[in-house]
């Protein structure tokens, strides 16, 4: 089995799901009828929120272990790597369920957001996000408690969760709140410096670095040794560039990709997000263009969104993005070429190949 075997990877998800449902089934001092309600509910929640994406984050862990061991994985190694990979996907599910509520999003992966499912509601979805996070630690304890890297693996999830939640706060407060409501739009807050800080913490660590670091940890690379320190540092350096590229790509797709292709309805303009597009627009727009952003950015109506997108097109931001994409691809190739050991480069080539010129 290998990182290209998605069926085997999905089979491990089913095992983890079954274990978690058994945990619920074995809870003491709860009536059987209540347990059945819980099992029925989470039998729907888990497959709705955890699998269903491209699974790149999870498969990257498997790919990383393959690359580091320089051979095909044993069945046990594949299962361990897949379990770790699925915990990254579980972390993603926790973030997305919460993020969709915060952004008042409508769809995710081509279906209604979890909190929009009629029998779920926002109240349940908030609790579900918390439970999804807890399930990560239940599964890690079950499968890795005796593994020599158990504490390091736990710390990677703890650190990454904190980093991502800091990034989420920066993202949510691009336009601050006052008296329980959004404060008036302040375009001076939309700078590339703020944007890069947000992206580093909101996206780079959990979408790229965590999977690579988990592979290193599972394979026994000590971050406190000279060799290990270099490996983790190289992984972080490349992942920060890949993550920024990925997020800028995401911002452009949010504005310009058809919802049926993207799998969701983009809301960055309505939500007054500090996106790459608005930061670049503010750098390039004349006084008339700035007035368009002042009048329409952050408005929850189709006319406002259309006006802002029209400005983006006038400023040729899609063309600027494509120039940036090629430059970033070159930068990534050059950085990857310097990584030692040479076989470790294959992991980052794999990641770059997954995102270069993606359409969704």
Closest among 327, 344, 253, 267 to 300, alpha carbons compared: 267
Handedness of CA 86, 87, 92, 94 (dihedral sign): positive
Closest among 178, 234, 246 to 206, alpha carbons compared: 246
Q: 80: Cβ–Cβ under 8 A, 6 or more apart, which residues?
A: 65, 143, 144, 147, 218
Establish whether 251 is a catalytic residue.
Answer: yes
Establish whether 202 is a catalytic residue.
Answer: yes
Establish whether 22 is a catalytic residue.
Answer: no
Catalytic residue among 100, 128, 171, 268: 171
Handedness of CA 187, 303, 100, 320 (dihedral sign): negative
Catalytic residue among 63, 79, 202, 264: 202
Q: What is the three-class DSSP state of 182? A: strand
Catalytic residue among 63, 116, 208, 250: 250
Catalytic residue among 5, 23, 103, 237: 103
The residue assigned the tokens 């699998």 is: 51
Distance (Å, whole) CA 119 – CA 116: 9
Catalytic residue among 57, 63, 95, 99: 99
Greatest C-alpha distance within the chain: 67
Ranges assigned E (strand) in the chain: 107-108, 111-112, 177-178, 181-182
Helices 276-284, 287-296: inter-axial angle, 10-degree rounding: 140
Catalytic residue among 9, 94, 208, 344: 94
Catalytic residue among 63, 79, 108, 273: 108
Contact (CB, 8 A) for 241 and 209: no
Distance (Å, whole) CA 343 – CA 118: 49
Torsional class of 275: left (φ above 0), alpha (ψ -120 to 50), beta (otherwise): beta
Q: How many CA atoms lie within 13 Å of 239's alpha carbon, on the beta-carbon side?
A: 23
Please state the three-class secondary structure of 76-114 as a single string: HHHHHHHHHHHHHHHHHHHHHHHHHHHCCCCEECCEECH
Catalytic residue among 100, 128, 251, 271: 251
Q: What is the three-class DSSP state of 178? A: strand
Catalytic residue among 6, 54, 142, 330: 54
Catalytic residue among 246, 296, 344, 348: 246
Establish whether 246 is a catalytic residue.
Answer: yes
Active-site amino acid positions: 54, 94, 99, 103, 108, 171, 202, 246, 250-251
């Amino acid at each position: 089995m290998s990182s290209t075997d998605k069926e085997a990877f999905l089979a491990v998800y089913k095992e983890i799901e079954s274990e978690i449902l058994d945990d619920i089934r074995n809870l003491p001092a709860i009536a059987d009828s209540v347990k059945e309600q819980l099992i029925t509910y989470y039998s729907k929640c888990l497959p709705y929120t955890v699998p269903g994406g491209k699974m790149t984050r999870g498969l990257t862990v498997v790919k990383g272990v393959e690359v580091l061991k320089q051979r095909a994985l044993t069945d046990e190694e594949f299962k361990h790597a897949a379990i770790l990979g699925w915990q990254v996907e579980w972390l993603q599910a926790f973030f997305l369920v919460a993020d969709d509520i915060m952004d008042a999003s409508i769809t995710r992966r081509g279906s209604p957001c979890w909190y929009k499912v009629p029998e779920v509601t926002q109240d349940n979805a908030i609790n579900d996000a918390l439970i999804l996070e807890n399930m990560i630690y239940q599964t890690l304890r079950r499968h890795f408690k005796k593994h020599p890297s158990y504490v390091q693996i736990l710390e990677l999830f703890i650190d990454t969760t904190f980093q991502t939640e800091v990034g989420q706060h920066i993202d949510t407060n691009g336009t601050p709140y006052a008296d329980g409501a959004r404060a008036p739009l302040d375009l001076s807050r939309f700078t590339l410096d703020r944007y890069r800080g947000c992206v580093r913490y909101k996206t780079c660590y959990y979408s790229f670095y965590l999977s690579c670091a988990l592979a290193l940890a599972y394979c026994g690379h000590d971050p406190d040794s000279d060799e290990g320190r270099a490996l983790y540092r190289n992984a972080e350096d490349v992942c920060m560039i890949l993550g920024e590229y990925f997020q800028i790509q995401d911002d452009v797709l949010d504005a310009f990709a058809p919802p049926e292709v993207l799998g969701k309805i983009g809301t960055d303009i309505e939500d007054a997000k500090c996106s790459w597009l608005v930061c670049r627009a503010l750098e390039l727009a004349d006084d008339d263009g700035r007035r368009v952003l002042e009048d329409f950015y952050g408005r929850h109506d189709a006319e406002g969104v259309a006006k802002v997108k029209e400005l983006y097109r006038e400023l040729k931001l899609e063309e600027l993005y494509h120039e940036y994409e090629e430059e970033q691809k070159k930068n990534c190739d050059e950085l990857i070429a310097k990584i030692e050991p040479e076989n470790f480069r294959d992991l980052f080539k794999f990641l770059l190949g997954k995102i270069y010129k993606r359409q969704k």
